[in-house]
Amino acid sequence: MSLKQGQKVEIFQCSKDESWEQYMDGFVGLHGIITDPDASINDPDDLVEVSVVGKGTFRLPQDCLRVLED
């Protein structure tokens, strides 16, 4: 997934990535905005910074994200 700053996303599932922590299970179903995509090489394995509505800003693996609009 090539993510862009300002893009709206949904955390649609828990990630299997090691960086996924238990408290993040509560994010599933919430929407957010990409505030910092992977910094330079568009690596699908990179963590991206997402501001999750009502929860805060976190580095999340990309496999839990679904783009809501272009």
Partner 1 sequence: MNSGSCPVSEALIELRERLDKGVLSHPRCRTIAEQALGLIRDIAWARAGRDHLQALEGLAEQLAAWDGDPSCSETGQHLKSALFEHHEAFASHIKTKNCPTGQCVRLAPAPCQMACPAGIDVPTYVTLIGMGRYDEAISVIRKDNPFPWVCGLVCTRPCEFMCVRGRMDEPVAIKPLKAFAAERAFSTLTYNNPPKAPDKGRKVAVIGAGPGGMSCAYYLAVMGYQVTVYEDLPVAGGMIMVGIPRYRLPREVIDREVAMIEELGVEIKFNTRFGRDVTFASLQEEGYEAFFVAVGAHEAYSLSIPGEKDFEGVRDAIAFLKDVALGERHAPGKHVVVVGGGNVAIDAARTSLRLGARSVTIAYRRDKDAMPADHEEVEQAEQEGIHFAYLTIPVEVVGENGRATGLKCLRAELVAKPGSDRMAPLPIEGSEFVMEADAIIAAIGQKVDDSCLADLTAVDWTHRNTLCVNSVSMETTMPGVFAAGDAVTGPATVIEAIGGGKRAAQGIDRYLSGLPQPKTPPVPVRRSMLPHLQTSAETKMTLERPEMPLLFLDRRRTTFQQVELGFDEAAAKEEARRCLRCDVCLRCGKCVEVCRDRMKVNALELGYFDFDHPVKTDFRKIEEKCILCGACATNCPNGAMQIRDEDGWRVLSLCGTRLNRAPLVQCSMCKEPLGTERYLEFVKNRASQGGVPVSSMYLCVNCARKTGAHSVSENLPHNHGETP
- Residues found near partner 1 in the complex (CB under 8 A): 1-2, 4-6, 8, 18-19, 21-23, 26, 29-31, 33, 35-47, 49, 51, 53-59, 67-68
Residue 53 Cβ vs partner 1, minimum distance, rounded to whole Å: 6
CB of 5 to partner 1, least distance (A): 7
Beta carbons within 8 Å of 11's beta carbon, 6+ residues apart: 27, 28, 29, 30, 31, 32, 50, 52, 60, 64, 65
What's the closest the beta carbon of residue 41 comes to partner 1, in angstroms? Answer: 5
